[in-house]
Amino acid sequence: MQNFTKGFIKENPVFAQLLGLCPTLGVTTSAINGMGMGLATAFVLIMSNLVISIIKDFIPDKVRIPSFIVIIASFVTIVELVMQGFAPALFDQLGLFIPLIVVNCLVLGRAEAFASKNTVFTSVIDGLGMGLGFTFALTVLGGVREILGSGAIFNFKLIQGDLMLVFVLAPGAFIALGYLIALSNKFLRSK
């Protein structure tokens, strides 16, 4: 259970380890986009950790990383097809960032550093913790940007009128992420 909470709180992929920042900054214009990208990545992370931990002893060292990438790409393809079929609006919003899950340093890093060295159960728990931590971070960042930029969250309008448009744009992602990392560091150091 420690692996689960470690990925969610102390070793959060975004706020503590600064992993997966390309989709973090690119798709978090809203809480829905952040949650969708986070859940897609979490699914790929859990399933790839599961498969890699099962077949790790059968993969030769020379082709370990390419094998991991093929396994990850298979699950990304599943996510992409399911999302395209059942959530086309979200798929259109996330666009190119869905296929880029294949090369997300969080997913490949957990496959190499954890799943290839641990049991199936602990690898799945690790994937779940890291995946939910990533989803949490993207949803919070998307929510903050959406509230400050458009006065809404999950497309529910909270504030009427013009707000700080910069938070809906790319520079707002950097500003909001910087403040959230600072808050996270202050919170974790105070414990």
Instruction: List the domain range (segments joined by +) for residue 79.
Output: 2-189
Q: What is the pLDDT of residues 77-97, one digit of tens each?
A: 999 999 999 999 999 999 899
Query: Is the alpha carbon torsion for 159, 163, 165, 171 positive or negative?
Result: negative
Indicate the number of domains in the chain: 1
What does pTM read for this prediction?
0.92
Query: Is the alpha carbon torsion for 9, 15, 17, 21 positive or negative?
Result: positive
Asked whether the predicted pLDDT for residue 133 surpasses 90, the reply is: yes
Q: What is the pLDDT of residues 110-123, one digit of tens each?
A: 999 999 999 999 99
The answer to whether the beta carbons of residues 78 and 46 sit under 8 Å apart is: no
